């Protein structure tokens, strides 16, 4: 009887492993949190600008995964975009910003970021030698779409050295 139970456990483990290795396995992301994102980019050696605005781009350029050939999906797709709104400063989102931004849309296997075009966004845009870029991934990346006023207030608090704690405890 115990041998039957043990072999049943082995079969269950094998079936579970096969299921997790299949394309049907779900992507698991930590909650997309503003304070965690802010702390990460604040510690980065690159320069970033927080912008509250509207991101516009050709959504037909977003990556599409062929479920029959998932390995063919590119790790990232670069899409030209425009971002207009206000940049964050000491007194809030008050400095006008309008410019070209390169969206860096990342894929993790068959899961790709699918940002909405023409939607309000709080974006942490990297400023580099070749201009501005915004990295998005299936777990969120450096943007928060349709941000609530409380989220904008939190970004301002983080920027000015106020309370900047993650909403959810983060796993290590």
d(CA 23, CA 18): 10
Question: How far apart are the two ends of the chain, measured CA to CA in Å?
Answer: 40
d(CA 62, CA 115): 8
Listed in sequence order, the DSSP H helices in 22-92 are: 34-43
Which residues have CB under 8 Å from 126's CB, separation 6+? 46, 47, 48, 132, 133, 134, 135, 142
Helix (H) or strand (E) holding 152: helix 149-159
Report helix, strand or coil for 151: helix
Neighbours of 149 (CB within 10 A): 7
pLDDT tens, per residue, the chain with 172 residues: 444 444 344 333 333 333 334 444 566 776 789 999 999 999 999 999 999 999 999 999 998 876 666 566 678 899 999 999 999 999 999 999 999 999 999 988 788 889 999 999 999 999 999 899 999 999 999 999 999 999 999 999 999 999 998 886 555 4
Which residues have CB under 8 Å from 41's CB, separation 6+? 48, 124, 142
């Amino acid at each position: 009887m115990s041998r039957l139970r043990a072999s049943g456990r082995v079969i269950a483990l094998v079936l579970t492993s096969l299921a997790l290795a299949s394309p049907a396995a779900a992507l698991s992301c930590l909650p997309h949190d503003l304070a965690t994102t802010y702390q990460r980019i604040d510690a980065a050696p690159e320069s970033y600008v927080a912008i509250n605005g509207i991101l516009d781009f050709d959504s037909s350029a977003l990556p599409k995964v062929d479920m029959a050939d998932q390995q063919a999906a590119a790790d990232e797709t670069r899409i030209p975009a425009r971002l207009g709104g206000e940049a964050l400063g000491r007194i809030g989102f008050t400095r006008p910003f309008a410019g070209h931004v390169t969206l860096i849309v990342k894929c993790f296997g068959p899961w790709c970021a699918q940002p909405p075009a023409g939607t309000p966004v709080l974006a942490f845009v990297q400023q580099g030698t070749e201009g501005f870029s915004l990295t998005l991934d299936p777990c969120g990346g450096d943007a928060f779409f349709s941000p609530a006023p409380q989220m904008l207030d939190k970004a301002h608090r983080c920027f000015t050295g106020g309370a900047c704690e993650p909403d959810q405890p983060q796993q290590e």
